[in-house]
Structure 1
Amino acid sequence: MARITKKDPKDELAKFLRHDEERNQQKEDRRKVSSQLPSLQRERRRSLLTRLGSIIVVCLLIICALAYYVSPYADVSTVRIYGAGDLDAKSLVRASEITASDKVLDSLRSNQKISRKLSKTFPEVGSVKLTLSGLNTLNFKVKERRVIGYVKAGSVYRKILSNGGLGTKTLSWNEVDHDKPLFIGYSKTVSLKTNLKIFNSFPDYFKDQVKMLSGNTRRKTQMIMVMKDGNVIIGNTATIRSKVKYYNAIKQDLTEKSVIDMEVGAFTRPLTAEEKKAYGIS
């Protein structure tokens, strides 16, 4: 006798419905993929065109740069000097060894070399920065060293620079900045350097009061300073640094222009007529 298995119609219907849903889902997925393909293709074309455009732009820039470099427009046509003060512009250009046949870009790349060369030739030059104006105008922006004072050399004067060097140009009395101290009577470079080093160690408020330093001393260790108020300080190079701080207090008790001797201790006396004449004090 054959076994009879009963099937639930609901189960059969559920299987049919699930199969129909899966087939509809597959159709829907195929439709989504088909609709996305044109968008993906457009995105790929856009990316390809962007990369191609970038390559073309870079190539054009390189071609233009090469064309400019080999053309006369890349040659230095003009050199302009800024911030050189008393220095002669033509001398600066000659010392830089830049000529009209040189390429602007090569000169800009040699900025540090040119700056060192000019600093070596002209003590006044601290540094030089090269810039470009237009197609081929080269600008020299000169930064000069600070001027500390002036040293008298015969009948003319030369700048004393912040690094201790002397300026190349000789100046007349009218060209000197009289707010800065004069170093007079220094026949030996060694004594000038010694006194300059000591002077630089003084406080700024005291340096601003110094009118002149005299190298005409009786001893190598002696230092003489003429102040803007007409007083004269005499000190010892080994101890003067620690004693100048008392000057403002001492001068308040003076009733006439005096010598303030700080070599050993500190004492004062009025200036003689000969001393006033020797130091140019009226």
Structure 2
Amino acid sequence: MPKKRVTKIDPKEKLSPYLDYQSNKNKRKSQSKTQNKLSASLANLRSERKSALVKRLGLIVGISVIALIGLGFYISPLNDVVSVKVEGGRDLPLAELVKTSGIKTSDKVIDHLVDSRGVNHKVKQKYSEVEHINIGVNHLNQLVLKVNEYQTIGYIKKGNKYCKILAHGKLGTQLLPWSKVSPDKPVFIGYNHDMSLNQSLALFNSLPSGFQSQIKLLSGNTRRKSQVIFVMKDGNVVIGNVSTLKRKLKYYNEIKAKATKDSLIDLEVGAYSRPLTVKEKRIYGLT
């Protein structure tokens, strides 16, 4: 009996078309997914670009509208200064101060709000009392000048009037009557030279605040350049030396406690007290 012929079949060869089909199918699916993702990304990108463009256009339009409104207000009569009000500077001539500032009713409010340096420079140059001016606005077009003055250290007598001695060492520009002199501040009398005044002022500023507050007058009518004379609020007179007074003040309270009313407390050479004479009381304005 003849043998049957056996034909060998390669499984890979038979499955190859199927495997190729599956592979191609998978590739097409993968490509389709990639294309779908790419399409989605492009759509998102276009959407983001459109959104960004709309935002930029909106910003440009918004800025343009605000600029037009601002320009319209700037050139309108609503931005014209109609009046100027001054706050502070009670001892200064307010009408003259406004005139010095250079502000006119034809000026624009915004110009002075944005740049106040010109007003400050003009006013401070004329009035030494003024430390700084802040410019504000009321009722849309009324300018308000808020005057900040230097602290008053004391007063100096000039004729029958009094002038402020200011914290930065300069004298005020206004001559004031006695009614406008603060009783809490000392008065410098008899000073004819700036040098002696500056020396006494420097000494006064270096003294303890507790002693400063007790001083009523500082007299420049001294026998020697190194001498200082303080008329106190309690009626006593203190005499000292410019270079040694601060050191000797430690004896002041002890001597004052033992002194009688209207005494001269001498801290210039030694440290003692004695009653003031009638002539001395008259000289120091205590009678």
TM range (shorter): 0.7 to 0.9
Distance 1:65 1:196 in 2: 52
Does residue 8 in structure 1 map to residue 8 in structure 2? no
Q: CA deviation at 1:276?
A: 2.6
Q: Structure 1 pair 41/16, CA: closer, same or farther in 2 (3 Å)?
A: same
User: Could you say what the CA RMSD is over the residues aligned between the two structures, in angstroms?
Assistant: 2.5
1:64 aligned to which of 69, 74, 97: 69
Does residue 217 in structure 1 map to residue 192 in structure 2? no
Does residue 192 in structure 1 map to residue 192 in structure 2? no
Q: How does 1:1-282 map to 2 (within 5 A)?
A: 6-8=10-12, 12=16, 14-281=19-286
Distance 1:9 1:226 in 2: 129
Distance 2:67 2:186 in 1: 57
Unaligned runs of 5+ in 1: none
**Structure with the greater alpha carbon radius of gyration:** 2
Distance 1:97 1:184 in 2: 37
State the one-letter code of the partner of 1:43: E
Percentage of identical aligned residues: 43
Distance 1:142 1:108 in 2: 15
Deviates more, 1:84-93 or 1:25-34: 25-34
Q: CA deviation at 1:119?
A: 1.3
Q: CA deviation at 1:15?
A: 5.0
Give secondary structure in 2 for the equivalent of 1:87: coil
Q: CA deviation at 1:52?
A: 0.6
Native 8 Å contact 1:116 1:127 kept in 2: no
Deviates more, 1:30-39 or 1:267-276: 30-39
Distance 2:135 2:168 in 1: 23
Q: Structure 1 pair 15/242, CA: closer, same or farther in 2 (3 Å)?
A: farther
Distance 2:101 2:268 in 1: 49
Deviates more, 1:223-232 or 1:60-69: 60-69
Native 8 Å contact 2:251 2:271 kept in 1: no
